[in-house]
A = this chain, B = another copy of it.
Amino acid sequence: MKADATTDPELACPISPVVDIVFSRWTTPILWSLHTFGRQRFVELERRVTGITPKVLTQRLRQLERDGLVVRTYHPEVPPRVEYEISELGRSLAPLFAHLTEWATANLGHVERAREEYDAAGSPR
């Protein structure tokens, strides 16, 4: 079960709830794939989100669907066809993701260099 900011003091940080929803494992690659390549079937996502297993993909898709970020459409054909697409609500994350990408472009190098320095310092006193 997930904690929530109002009941759990450990999350007395206004953004923790969002983080749980938007940045839990595998969600960003999935949302990004849906956002970038549009509506997709299960196998397409499976191929695109490299390394994910069908089990985990299902779990994450269900969670995203439950949170209203993704819409699942089932076509009762033979063979069955299911399509996933980003919802309106999911699309509203786009500027946020863009912002994140900007920060990455500008600062990921700094993080890299900070790590090198830190590691180079060894375990000094």
Contact = CB atoms under 8 A, between A and B. Distances in A.
Chain copies in complex: 2
Most chain B beta-carbon contacts within 10 A, residue among A49, A52, A111, A113: A111
Contacts of A67: 111, 114-115
A58 interface: no
13 contacts: A10-B49, A13-B32, A17-B104, A17-B108, A21-B111, A66-B115, A67-B111, A67-B115, A68-B111, A89-B110, A92-B103, A92-B106, A93-B103
Interface of A: 8-19, 21, 23, 28-29, 32-33, 48-52, 65-69, 89, 92-93, 95-97, 99-101, 103-104, 106-108, 110-111, 113-115, 117-119
